[in-house]
Structure 1
Amino acid sequence: MNTFTVVFSTAGGLALFLYGLRTLSDALKRAIGERMRELLERLTGKAYRGAIVGALTSGILQSSSMTMVLLIGLINAGALTLSQGIGVMLGSEIGTTITAQLIAFKIGHYYLPVIAIGFILAEVFRGKKAGDVGRIILGFGILFLGMDVISSGLRGLSEAPTVLHLLRSCGSNVVLGVLVGAGVTAVIQSSSAMTAMVIAMGSAGIITLPAAVALILGANIGTTITAMIASIGSSLSSRRLAIAQVLVNVIGVAAFLPFVLPYSRLVATTATSLTRQIANAHTFFNITVTLILLPLVGWLVWLTKHVVPGRETAINTAPQFLGDELLNAPAIALEQARKELFRMGELTSAMLHSCRAALLKGKRGEVNTVLETEEAVDALDRTIG
């Protein structure tokens, strides 16, 4: 198999995998998006409850990155505190491992009938619950089709000694493996897709378990780029949450890095197939890091406030409850729009009181307040409209 065939097969398979993942995620949000919103609204200050909600949300969205973008929007809106957001974020690290476990089951051998059944249900029952179920099934089918194409393409790497040597070197040089995993994940912005490729390489026999573990550790760092991008221009607490994810993953990877080889030997005892071992390594790492750091949420809040110092401004002229990051969750966006309308009314009422104070009592300081509030109301009008 020549180089072009390997590259195009892998790229095409990756595109199918990501498209299937998006189709699956969108269908799940349409089917149970309202319940997901209720879960987030009932979130309390207890970190362990936040972690449970985070695991469920990430499992529904099939992406910890999408969960982080959603959290940034909610924290920016004032619907969640930073400590609550960190608890949910820790749980989302566990929920995102579901995809890898499903892939390792090798149920993708039946992707063609799965795609057919999903398509028929989606078309026949369009606009109904059964149609949503069909789109969920269709998303799974396309996801596994992409996985099969990736596996077929990567088998050609066995004929490329240089690439093969580089991949296997990631096992002995774990720092190299972490850097490669982080770099690739940052580019494709999906740790699930990176993990899928690692499992595909394991299935093709072109990678060792220690190398796979190193690449997956790197993927956990690389996936934080999405939240960092989403937090640009948002509130201080939202930026702190993005930094908290970076800190959590860097701390976790740094703690595991010296023990990659013994950890790999331990994981090897959990299953006979390499693909299952890779999926288990991914799951066990995320569970361990979450369980260790969950009681330390208060310390993480303190640390992020020192890494990203500052104070929130007194008047936030930007929309607090709405943002582009919520467009992927219509049920939540609709509820946030309702809250934004109420806030718009409250700001307008406050602005009228300030106008009265400025005009009738000669309080010149109120003029700036009126202008700032008017800017916020105008921004809300543009956002909601």
Structure 2
Amino acid sequence: MKHLLNLLAAIALLVWGTHLVRTGVLRVLGSKLRQVLAASMGNRLTAALSGLGVTALVQSSTATALITASFVGRGLITLPAALAVMLGADIGTSVMAVVFSFDLSWLSPLFIFVGVTLFILRQGTQVGDVGRVLIGLGLMLLALQLVSQATHVLTANPAVQLMLESLTSDRMLEILVGATLAVLSYSSLAVVLLTATLAINVVGIDVALGLVLGANLGSGLLAVLTTAKANRATRQVPLGNLLFKLMGVAIAPALIPFWLRWVPPWVPDPAAQTVLFHLCFNLMVGLVFIGLTGTVAHWVEKLLPLQKAGSALERPNHLDPSALATPSLAISCAAREALHQADVVETMLRGVMTVIRTNDLQLSQDLRKMDDTVDDLYSAIKYYLTKISREQLNEKEGRRWTDIISFTINMEQIGDTVERVLLDIEDKKIRKGREFSEAGMTEISAMHARLLDNLRLGMSVFLDGDVRDAQRLLEEKVRFREMEREYASSHLERLTERAAPSMESSSLHIDLISDLKRINSHICSIAYPILDSAGALAPSRLRESRLQSLETPHGRH
């Protein structure tokens, strides 16, 4: 029993080491890997090579599938190019299996020692993430050594030897078991390496080859399951890759007898035979099907047709659940959805002046309903961000996570303020048939135009993080406050002149310019995280915030 537990613990350690390597590489090179994939889609060959290289680093074809699927889901690359990437990705993970099959156990203590040292001393930095990768590599090598030792002890038991001798090869069962193990362990690489070790004196080479085929099929099935809740465009890539694997697994069993006849004389070691078979299987699938990516893409589009897109305001468009497995990619998805929320806010804000000029009650009601969309987007983005593992984010991505939350909160509050402004316009102007004076209308139009300019600048600051633009945006807070005071004073002067339009619309006019200033304050708040990260915040920020809160009338938050 003890030896069996040792074997299970070694297998778990192998899976965990693979996970550490994958998450570490994605932290260090996540954005660069996405750029490499996106830039290599010119033809099928370069796409396949990029998939091979990225997967060799990440050590997970499933992670590559999720990144590539998200590109297709956002319309950045075509489906045939993405399928070519996946053919290369499968070759990449098989190449790494061959590398790990060599006796590299002497590197395990070195990797673990250096990795732990870097991770502890530089935690939260890229150097610390490199340490995480080294720890993962060291644990994988250590786990393979422990698996070998545990299986050697187990197979020395006479009862185990008798049981193994009674086993006969059942290809379908082997494929099913291999696929199940790959799905459960979230890593076909770990299953192939385990199978290679077991092939030496436990299951035999014939059974091991069937398990390898199942592990390949399981990795394709895993990507399909992981993207099951994503949009259809995203789900097409894993489905196409699974079709390639199904066709490959259908062909490969007929070739196994030839493999067993011709390869053992040249490669007598069963473990080496197992990983070479894994490599040759994926090379065969890649070479045979690289010319059929367009055809398979056509099949996928028939099996999983894209639905006609509805209104852009009906639901979140960029919050891809499959991207959550790659936190850096998920952060980008959340940022895109935050900009979508800002677009809805801008539409509401633009419509305010149209309502004021035309007294269009229906338009006002339609614009107020859009605040529900803004609120729904805020909730969706916030919930999506909470599902991102903060531990897997580096320092820069962690700040971006906070920036997105702050940005969406400000957009949500702007939406609430615009809704309240529209209600005031309906109650105090449209239904009572009142109009602003010509001078008052000019002032409101000027403030509104400047507010829209600041909103666009704020969206640019959020997107690019430019410090100079952030400083410009913060300066607008002071200018806008001065403008509000100037227009409030000029309105009071018109009241002393007893101008009828000014007297009738006085309450709405004062409230409106005050609300526009409040909206501008929310927009300018976008600059604070950017300037804080750059160390460019003025020391008077706290004092200004306090003064602003004292100036804000009670009950209007």
TM-score (norm 2): 0.61
Quick check: 1:322–1:336 contact (8 Å CA) kept in 2? yes
* More deviation, 65-74/317-326: 317-326
> What letter corresponds to residue 111 of structure 1 in structure 2?
S
Correspondence 1:1-385 to 2 at 5 A: 4-127=1-124, 129-155=126-152, 156-157=154-155, 159=157, 160-161=160-161, 163-165=163-165, 169-170=168-169, 173-203=170-200, 205-268=201-264, 271-315=267-311, 317-350=314-347, 360=360, 374=374, 377-378=377-378, 381-382=381-382, 383=384, 384-385=404-405
1:187-219 residue CA offsets vs partner (Å, 9 max, x unmatched): 32321121111111124x223323221110111
* More deviation, 113-122/369-378: 369-378
Give the CA deviation at 1:330: 4.2
Quick check: 1:77–1:322 contact (8 Å CA) kept in 2? no
Using the alignment, how far apart are the partners of 1:270 and 1:318 within structure 2? 59
Q: Secondary structure at the match of 1:268?
A: coil
Using the alignment, how far apart are the partners of 1:183 and 1:133 within structure 2? 31
* More deviation, 178-187/190-199: 178-187
1:97-149 residue CA offsets vs partner (Å, 9 max, x unmatched): 13311221111244234322332333344455544433322211111111122
Structure 1: 5+ residue runs without aligned partners? none
> What letter corresponds to residue 22 of structure 2 in structure 1?
S
Using the alignment, how far apart are the partners of 1:116 and 1:35 within structure 2? 27
Residues matched between the structures, number: 378
Identity %, equivalent residues: 22
Using the alignment, how far apart are the partners of 1:314 and 1:38 within structure 2? 30
* More deviation, 152-161/237-246: 152-161
Using the alignment, how far apart are the partners of 2:71 and 2:374 within structure 1? 23
Q: Name the CA shift for 1:373/1:51 in 2 (closer, same or farther; >3 Å).
A: farther
Using the alignment, how far apart are the partners of 2:215 and 2:249 within structure 1? 10
Give the CA deviation at 1:352: 6.2
Quick check: 1:73–1:321 contact (8 Å CA) kept in 2? no
Quick check: 1:70–1:326 contact (8 Å CA) kept in 2? yes
Q: Name the CA shift for 1:231/1:324 in 2 (closer, same or farther; >3 Å).
A: closer
In structure 1, what is the equivalent of residue 434 of structure 2? none
Give the CA deviation at 1:328: 4.5
Quick check: 1:199–1:278 contact (8 Å CA) kept in 2? yes
Quick check: 1:267–1:280 contact (8 Å CA) kept in 2? no
Using the alignment, how far apart are the partners of 1:207 and 1:232 within structure 2? 34
Give the CA deviation at 1:47: 2.2
1:290-347 residue CA offsets vs partner (Å, 9 max, x unmatched): 1211111110111112222452432364443344543443443444444333333334
Give the CA deviation at 1:51: 1.4
| Higher RCO (CA < 8 A, seq sep 6+) | 1
Using the alignment, how far apart are the partners of 2:182 and 2:96 within structure 1? 16
* More deviation, 55-64/42-51: 42-51
Q: Secondary structure at the match of 2:168?
A: helix
Q: Secondary structure at the match of 2:202?
A: coil
Give the CA deviation at 1:262: 0.5
Quick check: 2:175–2:213 contact (8 Å CA) kept in 1? yes
1:51-93 residue CA offsets vs partner (Å, 9 max, x unmatched): 1221122122211122223333333344443333222222111
Give the CA deviation at 1:224: 2.5
Q: Secondary structure at the match of 2:307?
A: coil
Q: Secondary structure at the match of 1:344?
A: helix
RMSD over equivalenced CA pairs, Å: 3.2
TM-score (norm 1): 0.85
> What letter corresponds to residue 277 of structure 1 in structure 2?
Q
Give the CA deviation at 1:348: 3.8
* More deviation, 135-144/247-256: 135-144
Give the CA deviation at 1:241: 2.1
Q: Secondary structure at the match of 2:30?
A: helix
* More deviation, 115-124/23-32: 115-124
Give the CA deviation at 1:288: 1.3
Quick check: 1:77–1:319 contact (8 Å CA) kept in 2? no
Using the alignment, how far apart are the partners of 2:329 and 2:274 within structure 1? 35
> What letter corresponds to residue 269 of structure 2 in structure 1?
S
Quick check: 2:226–2:322 contact (8 Å CA) kept in 1? yes
1:19-47 residue CA offsets vs partner (Å, 9 max, x unmatched): 11122222222322231122133242522
Using the alignment, how far apart are the partners of 1:368 and 1:285 within structure 2? 59
Give the CA deviation at 1:231: 1.8
1:143-167 residue CA offsets vs partner (Å, 9 max, x unmatched): 111112222222314531465246x
Quick check: 1:270–1:277 contact (8 Å CA) kept in 2? no
Instruction: Look at both structures and tell me which one has the larger radius of gyration over its CA atoms.
Output: 2
Structure 2: 5+ residue runs without aligned partners? 385-403, 406-557
